Structure 1
Amino acid sequence: METETGKGADALTKRPQLRAAIELCRKTGARLLIAKLDRLARNVAFIAGMMESKVGFVACDMPEANELTIHIMAAFAEHEAKRISERTRDALAAAKARGVVLGATGPANLKRNIEDRQRTADSFAANLARTIKSYRAAGLTQRQIVEELNRTGVTATRGGRWTLGQLQRVIARLPSSTPI
């Protein structure tokens, strides 16, 4: 099984196992068996070069694929690789804007981000304390509180619907001096 990366101008230089498998197929006339086309390469030129060479290959995820299908899927894989790169770049920029020190590992960087999230969660819980307390005073169970929060349009931490687990985590965040 080959797990090397094929990024870059000369993918075969960085993937000696693949290069060896292709050479063996070329010498013996065998077909190269790959799990998925996009794992072979996310580069149309590389796939086209493989198709032009004397080495046949079969992708297990689409064994009946003809040359046209392979070209289309290779183009899609290349497009998806570019989109992944764009999404990663955007996510890193957003993290940097939040104050995350990119490339820095260790407790200091993690601690700062964890503390920020904990402060946000504590604040969210404190803002809901009175509402939850009033529901409990009215005799509602936790499940009924979840139903009531969803029915009245109160959104959970990230803007979605409430679940029992989310409510229990919010209650656990409340100081012990705030009986629920």
Structure 2
Amino acid sequence: MQQGRYIAYYRVSTQRQGRSGLGLEAQRKTINDRLRGAGQLITEYTEIETGRRTDRPMLAEALSACRLHRAVLLIAKLDRLARNVAFVSALMDAGVEFQACDFPSANRLTIHILAAVAEHEAHMISERTRVALAAAKARGTILGGARGRAGTCTDLEKARAARTAKANQRALDLATTIRSLQAAGSTSLCSIATGLNARQIAAARGGFWTAAQVRRILNRLQDQTTCEASA
């Protein structure tokens, strides 16, 4: 690998992997081994998200950092980016150079082919899972903990709590970026939304940010601050 400036991007698929370091440490070792004496690692970003999702705030921040520092996005393996050809294509058109340690000399055509293979592999895994579940259902196995019965009040409360926790965490993830935008002069809801869109940070359900969505995030952050102060 040539001398240069690099931003590392790591991805694990589950919260458990993120906490335990399972998979994450192997990715970090691969990148450190590759960069040893052959490049400057400016910073690194870690995402806990399935490879099928394309709304990844940490990847968006990593891409922004690459553009800011004129650095190369470095990943341990190509499938850590995405098992989706369209997503890899869009990434390649984002104006950021990226390299995969497992294929350091891959060209654009090679990367497209490898991404297609990874996407096919993900599809095959999904298909095998679907067939296995169908076979289990045919044998009379009840699938899912709550199948065949209505959700209780406790079930509904747990579901609401899980959604709230996820939304709160999302707001916290965005807090640093929003504060940096505000410090840079983006004080209105619309200007903050524009800044988030410019950093390629997708809204909660994908797509672009609006002033109303920014207001909800700021209100959620304010509620969390109030709760912490009164605790």
Any idea what SS the aligned residue of 1:2 has?
strand
Shift of 1:16: 1.2
Which amino acid in 1 is paired with 2:130?
R
Q: Does 1:72 align with 2:128?
A: no
Paired residue for 2:78, among 37, 43, 49?
37
Paired residue for 2:144, among 99, 103, 109?
103
Any idea what SS the aligned residue of 2:99 has?
strand
The structure with more helix, counted as a fraction of residues: 1
Q: Does 1:60 align with 2:101?
A: yes
User: Is the CA contact (8 Å cut-off) linking 2:52 and 2:84 kept in structure 1?
Assistant: no
Q: Does 1:2 align with 2:51?
A: no
Q: How far apart in 1 are the matches of 2:95 and 2:82? A: 18
Shift of 1:17: 1.1
Any idea what SS the aligned residue of 2:135 has?
helix
Q: How far apart in 2 are the matches of 1:42 and 1:69? A: 14
Q: Which runs of 5+ in 1 are unaligned?
A: 106-180
Q: How far apart in 2 are the matches of 1:92 and 1:43? A: 24
Q: Deviations over 1:92-135 (max 9, x none)?
A: 11111222211128xxxxxxxxxxxxxxxxxxxxxxxxxxxxxx
Q: How far apart in 2 are the matches of 1:96 and 1:22? A: 44
Q: How far apart in 2 are the matches of 1:6 and 1:81? A: 9
Shift of 1:90: 0.4
Any idea what SS the aligned residue of 1:38 has?
helix
> Which structure carries more relative contact order (alpha carbon 8 Å, separation 6+)?
2
Q: How far apart in 1 are the matches of 2:50 and 2:67? A: 22
Counterpart of 2:213?
none
TM-score, with structure 1 as normaliser: 0.52
Counterparts of 1:23-172 in structure 2, within 5 Å, are 23-104=64-145
Shift of 1:6: 4.1
Q: How far apart in 2 are the matches of 1:50 and 1:83? A: 24
User: Is the CA contact (8 Å cut-off) linking 2:73 and 2:98 kept in structure 1?
Assistant: yes
Shift of 1:45: 1.0
Any idea what SS the aligned residue of 1:65 has?
coil
Q: Deviations over 1:1-40 (max 9, x none)?
A: 32222424xx1x3x21111111111111111111111120
Which amino acid in 2 is paired with 1:40?
L
Counterpart of 2:61?
20
The alignment's C-alpha RMSD in Å is 1.5
The structure with more strand, counted as a fraction of residues: 2
Q: Which runs of 5+ in 2 are unaligned?
A: 1-45, 147-231
Q: How far apart in 2 are the matches of 1:98 and 1:39? A: 36
Which amino acid in 2 is paired with 1:61?
D
Which amino acid in 2 is paired with 1:2?
E
Give the count of matched residue pairs: 101
4+ residue runs over 3 A deviation: none
Shift of 1:88: 0.8
